[in-house]
Amino acid sequence: MNHNDYVNKQVNQKNFFIKKKFSQNFLLDENIIKKIVKSADINKDSYVIEIGPGFGALTKYLVDQSKKVLLYEIDDDLIPHLQTLFKDKDNIHIEHQDFLKVQSVDQDIDRYLDQANNVIVISNLPYHITTPIIMKILEESQKIKRLVLMMQLEVAQRLTSKPNTKDYNALSIIIQDQSEAKYMFKVPKTVFQPRPNVDSAVIRLDRYLEKERDPLFYQFVHECFSQRRKTLVNNLHSSFSINKDDIKVLLDKLEINDKIRAEALDLEMIKNLYKLFK
């Protein structure tokens, strides 16, 4: 039985109740599934984590194409399906867990993925927790080097957007500071069961793992964007209680117009400003 029939059978025969609270939209289209896996450039030496495997649409390829796979699935009802589907495979470990509550992903990697330090994450994300999942990985893991993620189209556009576009925001800057962020392709609603209300897209993040992270810089970025319609000077003035004229002097040093909004700053400009601010 192909995957499409398998999922339809489980869902339609009421063996399984779809849980909206877990953002369950299962992928049916085998070509799209293959295209997502291909985007991750996995090979037989790869160590892979999948968040939210569901009925194993992506997992079946990951298990065959990589060295070892670690799954995190929150839903009690999906665990038996996964165990049955992969009972003959010895390169897979299923963690029945809420990914956001995992104490240390890097410790799990040491335990289940041979202490690898170049792990690839692949996920058709639970859309309601897209940002917390990405931030958890970027903030907590030094071992995950690549992420291939499907999410709501608008979020994918935002995370990979460039300055001076309507989507560009603090999260775009933080993600692009830590990784090369690429928009890969759009995925229509029609390839899911059940169909979501929104279109989706896949992005790929290749992290600069060697680079140091400065949490204060990220806080600074958030403050620059705190009120989108306000100028940078006004945002910084209200966030840090600094005199507006002093802020203008700093901007002038960097030859930045004092009427500018944060969305017009590129990564380099915002970093230079942060250095002067410090």
Interacting residue ranges for ligand SAM, rule: CB under 6 A: 22-27, 51-55, 57-58, 72-75, 78, 98-100, 124, 126, 129
Is 50 among the annotated ligand-binding positions?
A: no
Q: What's the first-to-final CA gap in the chain, in angstroms?
A: 61
Is 76 among the annotated ligand-binding positions?
A: no
Distance CA 265, CA 259 (A): 12
Is 124 among the annotated ligand-binding positions?
A: yes
Closest C-alpha among 64, 81, 65, 62 to residue 73: 81
- Residue ranges of alpha helices (H) inside the chain are 3-12, 30-39, 59-65, 79-85, 105-112, 130-140, 153-159, 170-178, 215-224, 232-240, 244-253, 267-277
Q: Which is nearer to ligand SAM, 10 or 53 (CB)?
A: 53
Q: Which is nearer to ligand SAM, 114 or 194 (CB)?
A: 194
Distance CA 100, CA 74 (A): 10
Q: Which is nearer to ligand SAM, 108 or 263 (CB)?
A: 108
Least separation, in Å, of the C-beta of 99 and ligand SAM?
4
Least separation, in Å, of the C-beta of 50 and ligand SAM?
7
Q: Which is nearer to ligand SAM, 4 or 234 (CB)?
A: 4
Distance CA 61, CA 15 (A): 24
Least separation, in Å, of the C-beta of 178 and ligand SAM?
22
Is 4 among the annotated ligand-binding positions?
A: no
Q: 144-152 and 200-207: which strand pairing?
A: antiparallel
- Do the beta carbons of residue 97 and residue 51 sit within 8 Å? no
Q: Which amino acid is at 29?
A: D
Q: Which residue is nearest to ligand SAM (CB)?
A: 52
Residue with tokens 């890097």: 106
- Do the beta carbons of residue 125 and residue 100 sit within 8 Å? no
Q: Which is nearer to ligand SAM, 59 or 161 (CB)?
A: 59
Least separation, in Å, of the C-beta of 80 and ligand SAM?
13
Token duo for residue 12: 């339609």
Least separation, in Å, of the C-beta of 192 and ligand SAM?
8
Q: Which is nearer to ligand SAM, 54 or 68 (CB)?
A: 54
Q: Which amino acid is at 223?
A: E
Is 52 among the annotated ligand-binding positions?
A: yes
Least separation, in Å, of the C-beta of 71 and ligand SAM?
9
Least separation, in Å, of the C-beta of 164 and ligand SAM?
32
Q: Which is nearer to ligand SAM, 53 or 221 (CB)?
A: 53
Distance CA 44, CA 192 (A): 29
Is 257 among the annotated ligand-binding positions?
A: no
Measure CA 232 to chain center. 28
The binding site consists of: 25, 27, 52, 73, 98, 124
The binding site for S-adenosyl-L-methionine consists of: 25, 27, 52, 73, 98, 124
